[in-house]
Structure 1
Amino acid sequence: MHTIKLHRMNQEEFDFYIRNKVPRYAESIAQNIKLDEQKALENASQKLQRLLSEGNNTPGHLLFNVIQDDKLIGYVWIKINYETHESFLYEIYIKEQFRGKGKGTRVMQLIEKLLIEQEIESFNLHVFGHNAGAFKLYERIGFDVIGINMQKKISPKS
């Protein structure tokens, strides 16, 4: 049995993560919000800078490498609000070659265990509309839909 662990990122690992996160996030933005590639990259970069204003040291934000047998197989980014006892999953990313083998489920269990140890009472997340696999995972492990974001692109009249 392969052991999966979460390891807090150091600064070098965080820098690598962000360099790769921007285009990944931009792709989701472009696909779901229907922005062109350049605007999606700018949007992703600005949002990530705003959310992680102090980088790897941004208060409340925890960034982890997902490690299996000394190999990096993915990433986790969560925010914990200790005052309200709530958390938000910004990202769980498992590399393509490791998907579909229960690793995402195991990582979510590890996150939940960490949150329980921190006395967090609410675990929240957002799923992009195109990500049916993630939606199924979250439903299967007990997440409830509490709202749905919808969008219609419109053009102002000339």
Structure 2
Amino acid sequence: MTEVRLEPMTEDEYKPWRAEAEAHYARSAVASGQSEQDAARAAADTYARLLPGEFDTPGNHFWYAYDGDRRVGFLWIKVDHSTAFVHNVAVEAGLRRRGYGRAIMLAAERWCHDNGLTRMSLHVFAHNTGARALYEQLGFAETGRNMAKAL
């Protein structure tokens, strides 16, 4: 099984990551049925709300994941009391379907355990069937469901 190590992002690394993460969120919202304009606005509003202090927003942790010297992905979680909420996790585009997503999530679980956290939660877009299957395999259970209808 693949293992990765999590290395905290620096503030300089955070800046380009933040721009790409927001753009990725907007693309996922478009894939879920929002217009490009609405998705871009929603992504900007969401990131502004979640990270009002940007890199220094309390409770937020940002890592790059490495396999040896190769960067394979990233992870962003927010800790609130005893729960870690996975806001964003991804594997580099050319390295997907090789076990790195699972490895990053397992590294996150170890970090949570080591830091006394007792619960992990996350949101996944419904169209992302690969991620949904992975999270279910890792023991995540659905706790709610958003639904929409295009008019």
With the length of structure 2 as denominator, give the TM-score of the two structures: 0.93
Q: Which amino acid aligns with 2:70?
A: K
Map of 1:139 onto structure 2 = 136
Separation of aligned partners in 1, 2:147 and 2:84 = 23
Map of 1:53 onto structure 2 = 52
2:126 maps to 1:121: no
Separation of aligned partners in 1, 2:143 and 2:41 = 29
Separation of aligned partners in 2, 1:53 and 1:62 = 14
RMSD of aligned Cα (Å): 1.5
Correspondence list, 1:1-158, <5 A: 4-32=4-32, 34-82=33-81, 85-154=82-151
Identity %: 30
Q: Secondary structure at the match of 2:79?
A: strand
Q: Determine if contact 2:2/2:100 at 8 Å carries over to the other structure.
A: no
1:141 deviation in Å?
1.1
1:102 deviation in Å?
1.0
Separation of aligned partners in 1, 2:132 and 2:42 = 24
Q: Determine if contact 1:9/1:65 at 8 Å carries over to the other structure.
A: yes
Segments ≥4 residues shifted beyond 6 Å? none
Q: Which amino acid aligns with 1:123?
A: M
